[in-house]
Homo-oligomer: A and B are copies of this chain.
Amino acid sequence: MIKKAIILLSGGLDSTTCAAIAKEKNFELYGLTINYGQKHSFELESAKSIANYFNMKKHTIIDINLAKFGGSSLTSKNLKIPKNRTISNINEIPTTYVPARNTVFLSIALARAETLKSFDIFIGVNALDYSGYPDCRSEFISQFEKLANLATKESIEKKGKYKIHTPLINLTKSEIIQEGLKLNVDYSKTSSCYDPKNSGNPCGNCDACILRLKGFKEAGKKDPLHYI
């Protein structure tokens, strides 16, 4: 029997690689993209194109305007996205942290999973080459898994046990890219930059770009995106 999986798909490098891994494991893919009020919408377009590339069974976009709460430079016009941070201080939690974002994303994915009678959720969190976000750590993920198994009708009626898959959590960015390339991921379709230009081209000096460029460099590969 084909097993369904929910793929949290931002349109970035990590979630796209995560989708490729789920496909390789023979899951039927249900993409889920959350339009959470981020300042730019290039990643939504990337997500659609990636869902299409992987021939996902369905791709759903859910709107929830977390910008109403503010508190992050990814959603609030009053906060600037930090640039040119050095690798040594990149593990301090920067203003690009969006309060409780992965808790919100996983809870929506859980709702989606329950309605599809799926017990598998993939999220491309990474706790090595990352910005120190608390909701990317494995302690957080295993706690969410416990919650999911108490939260739903499907779980208390013992129809199954939820698994939050985090295949990238202990990989370096370079290892993620190498894994993706092995699985034929087309990284030209992905969008990682926190602050792309109007053309959609990445800035090259936000945390997301710095980590991505470092990853490609260490993997000995060329990033197919055009930086300006």
A residues near B, CB below 8 A?
60, 62-66, 68-71, 93, 97-104, 106-108, 110-112, 114-115, 133-135, 137, 139-140, 143-144, 146-148, 150-153, 155-157
Contacts and interface: CB of A to CB of B under 8 A. Distances in A.
B104 A108 contact: yes
Given A69-B112, A135-B152, A140-B147, 8 more contacts: A64-B64, A99-B115, A103-B151, A134-B152, A134-B156, A139-B150, A143-B150, A147-B147
17 contacts: A63-B64, A69-B115, A70-B115, A97-B153, A98-B111, A99-B152, A100-B107, A102-B151, A103-B111, A103-B148, A104-B108, A104-B110, A134-B152, A140-B150, A143-B143, A143-B147, A143-B150
Contact of A93 (B104, B139, B146, B153): B153
B68 A62 contact: yes
A55 to B, nearest CB: 21
A146 B153 CA distance: 21
A111 B70 CA distance: 10
Contact of A64 (B71, B106, B108, B156): B108
A69 B114 CA distance: 9
Contacts of A148: 103
A111 B100 contact: yes
Nearest to A104: B107
Contacts of A152: 99-100, 103, 134-135
A62 B108 CA distance: 14
